[in-house]
Amino acid sequence: MGSMTFVQNSELFSYSGTNCVRNDYYHNECQLCVDICPERAFHIVRSKLTLFSSECIECAACIGSCPTEALSIKSFDPNAYTTSFKEEDDKLLSCKKTTSCLGSFDSHHYITMALTSNESPICDMAHCKECSLNTNGKIESFIREEIKKTMDFLTACDSEYSISIQEEKPEDENAKRALFKAAFTKVKEAVQEEDEQESIGITLEYQKASGFTGLPLKFLNLKKAIRDNISKLPKTTHDTNFGIFANKEISFKDCTNCGDCVNFCPTEALLKTTDKQGINFNVGNCISCGICNHICKTDAIKTTGGIDLVNFAYDRGTELVHYEMVMCHECRCPYPYRGGDPICDRCADFRVDFSHVFTLAKDM
């Protein structure tokens, strides 16, 4: 991201246009927050995402939907809550008691809480259907989908960890809350004491000190949780990505080594090899934004299923493609050599398309 920042605020809620993947890349069509917002406070203006702060009711239901953590609220930090969850006496995630709307979490948060706590998190879904925020059932559907991803992941890993859903209301609880904003009466401290940083998790300060701030904090916390508990996950390689992770492959035949996918990747998941003649991929940094797929002029890069949790957690990169760069004998420019005559695609196409221009009269 650039040094300039663009942030819109209501009283408690903030939207960072600088961190928004849609604003970072003009052709990206992400509008997850637009779709889930119960008050239609987000609008697409000239292909850019804009918050109409006067329409925002600060419910926090949209926060978990954002892949780049461009959305936040002062009264509740899902990352701080996630990393301190193991210290919580009450393992019930409930907008009535302990958290904001469960829409502020996604599967990265749920998995981290499940892996780092001795007791399984319990998601209170008893109030979601009748909630005034649950317009057309979108928020409830989002929450259940993220919990399902978490369940599928933990089950596939043959893990001893789990997550569950509470569907019924306690008998002593009122049928409805008077105001849904009462969920924000309990404010979580986002910044922990220095001597607790390692046990609580990776903090925003650590992220900034590392010199790379493009990766969402929920990814860093999840990677740490997997590293710390990798021995308790019997199965670490999978054929599916659970809708949580992303994998990439690049066609040697189609790739021109132009570097556009590397240049436009917002999280440095794609990097040039040290000799600049190939492309490496770090699955632990990929946020599934799809920019690389769209920017590739030859459709050489594809998203594939499958995940190796060791590679994800330990940032082990893989080489997707590598070329020998040779000099084109026509234009004298280097290009990725694939065999045959040493001529680049541009010159080869030119030779075919304009061969008639150079035909002599005697040969016609």
The string of pLDDT tens digits covering residues 129-173 is: 999 999 889 999 999 999 999 999 999 999 999 999 999 886 555
Is there a single domain that holds both residue 134 and residue 168?
yes
Are 217 and 69 spatial neighbours (Cβ–Cβ below 8 Å)? yes
**What's residue 352's pLDDT?**
66
Are 259 and 272 spatial neighbours (Cβ–Cβ below 8 Å)? yes
Report which of residues 153 and 257 the model is more confident about: 153
What is the biggest distance separating any 2 CA atoms in the chain, rounded to whole angstroms?
100
Q: Which of 17-21, 162-166, 219-223, 238-242 has the lowest mean pLDDT?
A: 17-21
Query: Does residue 226 carry a pLDDT above 90?
Result: yes
Give the 3-state secondary structure of residue 115. Answer: helix
Query: Does residue 194 carry a pLDDT above 90?
Result: no
**What's residue 154's pLDDT?**
97
Is there a single domain that holds both residue 59 and residue 84?
no
Rounded distance between C-alpha atoms, residue 36 and residue 141, angstroms: 10
- Give the model's confidence band at 181: pLDDT under 50 very low, under 70 low, under 90 confident, else very high: very low
Query: Does residue 239 carry a pLDDT above 70?
Result: yes
**Which of 59, 74, 89 is the endpoint of a domain?**
74
pTM for the full predicted model: 0.82
Is there a single domain that holds both residue 45 and residue 189?
no
Report which of residues 98 and 213 the model is more confident about: 98
Is there a single domain that holds both residue 65 and residue 174?
no
Is there a single domain that holds both residue 9 and residue 68?
yes
The string of pLDDT tens digits covering residues 35-58 is: 999 999 999 998 899 999 999 999
**Which of 74, 93, 124 is the endpoint of a domain?**
74
**What's residue 5's pLDDT?**
62
Query: Does residue 186 carry a pLDDT above 50?
Result: no
Is there a single domain that holds both residue 195 and residue 245?
no
If you write DSSP's letter for every residue of 47-95 in order, what string do you get?
Answer: TEEEE-GGG-----TTGGG-TT--EEETTB-HHHHHHHGGG-S--EE-T
Are 215 and 285 spatial neighbours (Cβ–Cβ below 8 Å)? yes
Question: In terms of residue numbers, what domain contains 128?
Answer: 77-235
**What's residue 108's pLDDT?**
98
User: Domain containing 13 — which CATH number?
Assistant: 3.30.70.20
Is there a single domain that holds both residue 315 and residue 343?
no
**Domain total for the chain?**
4
Is there a single domain that holds both residue 304 and residue 246?
yes
Average pLDDT on 120-134 reads: 95
Query: Does residue 335 carry a pLDDT above 90?
Result: no
Rounded distance between C-alpha atoms, residue 155 and residue 192, angstroms: 32
The string of pLDDT tens digits covering residues 300-311 is: 999 999 999 999
Is there a single domain that holds both residue 107 and residue 18?
no
Is there a single domain that holds both residue 87 and residue 214?
yes
Is there a single domain that holds both residue 218 and residue 91?
yes
Report which of residues 193 and 129 the model is more confident about: 129
Give the 3-state secondary structure of residue 303. Answer: strand
Q: Which of 154-158, 197-201, 268-272, 356-360 has the lowest mean pLDDT?
A: 197-201
**Which of 26, 42, 74 is the endpoint of a domain?**
74
* Angle in degrees, CA 75, 76, 78, rounded to 5: 165
Is there a single domain that holds both residue 41 and residue 99?
no
